[in-house]
Amino acid sequence: MKKAYLSIAVCCAFLVACSGEKTTGEEETAETMAKTIESTESEWIDLFDGTSFAGWHKYGGGEVGAAWKIEDGAIYLDATNKDGWQTGDGGDIVTDDEFDNFHLKYEWKIAENGNSGVIFFIHESDEYQYPWQTGPEMQVLDNDGHPDAKIVSHRAGDLYDLIVSEPEAVKPAGEWNMAEIIANNGSLEFRLNGESVVNTTMWTPEWEEMIANSKFKDMPGFGTYKKGRIALQDHGDVVHYRNIKLMKL
């Protein structure tokens, strides 16, 4: 398709050059064509290639733990030999690259009574033991079975412990959900299964006040970084992720 768009654009440019002048309609057509080409060439980056952990590592350094596995084009946390959160050969996994302004898309499904999350703007350093000490989280949860669902702002799709998602668009445990995180110059939006569920602005006095009234109040680095890694959380439960893509904004 990209070659076709370029060929049409070249033809349009040639015809306009031959005519010596542009009509209003021609100008609008050329502008639309340029925008189409630009949109087509905007690249979605595959953060997960469907077959390997290329581009990912265990938070704090080292290879992805053996509890994280790949099957049928999805990353999943195998909780068979785990007896809780962050135990066994698992741990949170993070992207090798850092991102600032981005549009992230991914699909997830959680096991019954399961808990996980996608964390972003993570500052990875020896100063912080866990990704959630710096990065905000879009919650992944079985709302019908996990105890966290009884806590306001801890349900699936929420900006964890900060903003309740609305409307509640999550699907039952075992079903795939489509999630999106859009962060652009402080503007933050969460989408779940086609619904816009969270909208806020980061790094404002209101943002700081919200953190001061949350469980993160004693974590000075939380929600302060404007660029960072993206993590898939090991909360000790079976969870699957697939089709993880990002567009830089």
**Residue 85 has what pLDDT?**
62
**Residue 88 has what pLDDT?**
67
**Residue 11 has what pLDDT?**
40
| pLDDT range class, residue 22, cuts 50, 70, 90 | very low
Going by C-alpha positions, the residue among 105, 121, 125, 230 that lies closest to residue 178 is 105
Give the residue ranges of DSSP H helices in 128-220.
205-212
**Residue 80 has what pLDDT?**
83
On the CB side of 207, how many CA atoms lie within 13 Å of its CA?
15
Query: For 181-233, what is each residue's pLDDT tens digit?
Result: 999 999 999 999 999 999 999 999 999 999 999 999 999 999 999 999 999 99
The residue whose two tokens read 């898309």 is 105
Tell me what the pLDDT averaged over the chain comes to. Answer: 88
Query: For 138-186, what is each residue's pLDDT tens digit?
Result: 999 999 999 999 999 999 999 999 999 999 999 999 999 999 999 999 9
Structure tokens at 41: 């060439």
Percentage of the residues of the chain whose pLDDT score is greater than 90: 78
Contact (Cβ atoms closer than 8 angstroms) between residue 70 and residue 240: no
Q: From CA 136, how far away is CA 202, in angstroms rounded?
A: 10
Query: For 65-83, what is each residue's pLDDT tens digit?
Result: 999 999 999 999 998 866 6
Percentage of the residues of the chain whose pLDDT score is greater than 70: 80
**Residue 12 has what pLDDT?**
41
Q: What is the pTM of this model?
A: 0.83
Q: Which amino acid is at 69?
A: K
Distances (CA, A) of 3 to 7, 32, 40, 222: 6, 17, 10, 45
Distances (CA, A) of 163 to 130, 150, 157, 179, 199: 21, 15, 9, 16, 9
**In the predicted model, is pLDDT for residue 16 greater than 70?**
no
